[in-house]
Amino acid sequence: MNQNVHNLVDLEDLSKEELKQLLDTAIAYQEGAAVPKLKRDVKVANLFFENSTRTVTSFQTAEHRLGLSRFDVNINGSSVKKGESLADTVKTVQAIGMDLTVIRHSETGWYKALEGDSNIHLSLVNAGDGAGVHPSQTLLDLMTIQKEFGDFSGLKIAIVGDLSHSRVAKSDAKIFKELGMQVYFAGPKEWWSEELAEYGQFEEIDNLLDQVDVLMCLRVQLERLEESGRDNFTADAYHEDYGLTKARAKRMKDTAIIMHPAPVNRGVEIDSELVDGAQSRIFNQMANGVYARMAILTRVLQEQGLMEEK
């Protein structure tokens, strides 16, 4: 059994106090706090088995700002294409000298087997696992909400769209509820996942618009429509029935904000003009992602004894 406690794979593993510390660190970095010194050269391998723009680029930026030596493995040109397993890929980068690895992989819970492997002792950071969780996205979403409202307790949020495929919905809703937010879900009823029922109730989007402080649209996973038997999907009908149209946005409170983990299908889950509009925080979320990821890496490195505490 790998007793390495220096992974960060699910925010659920942290206490409320630890989560608060992570958020404080992220905000402090954004406000210009100095980066603590590394105790030696520290190497990180980025292994992205699924596509990414935001997560990979902001982890790379975070690693650069923290002074890490960074190695981006080109998965398409790697021995994964010859059938090498995830565990052997991780053991390989470890043998080459990596201290930590940031992984995005389509397998839900990919980290569980690795955490149980006594031959793996580098730190694991989860950059998204299948339909599991997306901890760094959740942290940047929390940061975006905290910067806007100062606190979480009592805020109402609607998470709208492709709930059954979304690791963001699951990851966020769990933590939002823990922090005292009132969580609602909306979208096509057939895309609802009972798994989410413990975190909030399902409602028609039109019943939520004037209630919520945050409206979070989810990307319609167009690439998965066929495999999930949604052949009758049309972008226009979705936009009309469940999308954040300009007419729906007019019914939101003036103080409410619009979020989206992105990438965005403009004109499908949200009107294109609203993406760039005054209530949108979508690009702020992306900017916050760098600091959220710096905070995650700082926590892992300090726990590993590789970075000074202050």
Active site residues: 54-55, 82, 104, 134
In whole angstroms, the minimum distance from the beta carbon of 127 to ligand CP comes to 8
Bond from prior residue into 263 cis (ω within 30 degrees of 0):
yes
Binding site for ligand CP (CB under 6 A): 52-55, 128, 137, 261-263
In the complex, what is the shortest distance from the CB of residue 263 to ligand CP, in angstroms, rounded to a whole number?
6
In the bound state with ligand CP, the residue whose beta carbon lies nearer, of 53 and 201, is: 53
CA 264 → CA 1, 6, 73, 261, 283, distances in Å?
Answer: 41, 33, 26, 8, 11
CA–CA distance from 166 to each of 117, 158, 267 (Å)?
Answer: 28, 14, 19
Closest distance of CB 103 from ligand CP, Å = 13
Nearer Cβ to ligand CP, position 52 or 193?
52
Nearer to ligand CP, 55 or 89 (CB): 55
Closer CB to ligand CP, 6 or 134, in the complex: 134
To ligand CP, the closest distance from the beta carbon of 167 in angstroms equals 9
Cβ 178 to ligand CP shortest distance, Å? 21
d(CA 116, CA 187) in angstroms, rounded, equals 38
**Smallest separation, CB 126 to ligand CP (Å):** 12
Residue (60 or 164) nearer to ligand CP, CB:
60
Query: What is the distance between the alpha carbons of residues 292 and 114, in angstroms, rounded to a whole number?
Result: 24
SS3 readout for the chain = CCCCCCCECCHHHCCHHHHHHHHHHHHHHHCCCCCCCECCCCEEEEEECCCCCHHHHHHHHHHHHCCCEEEEECHHHCHHHHCCCHHHHHHHHHHHCCCEEEEEECCCCHHHHHHCCCCCCCEEEEEEECCCCCHHHHHHHHHHHHHHHCCCCCCEEEEECCCCCCHHHHHHHHHHHHCCCEEEEECCHHHCCHHHCCCEEECCHHHCCCCCCEEEECCCCHHHCCCCCCCCCCHHHHHHHHCECHHHHHCCCCCCEEECCCCCCECCCECHHHHCCCCECHHHHHHHHHHHHHHHHHHHHHHCCCECCC
Please identify, using beta-carbon distances, which residue of 10 and 306 lies nearer to ligand CP. 10
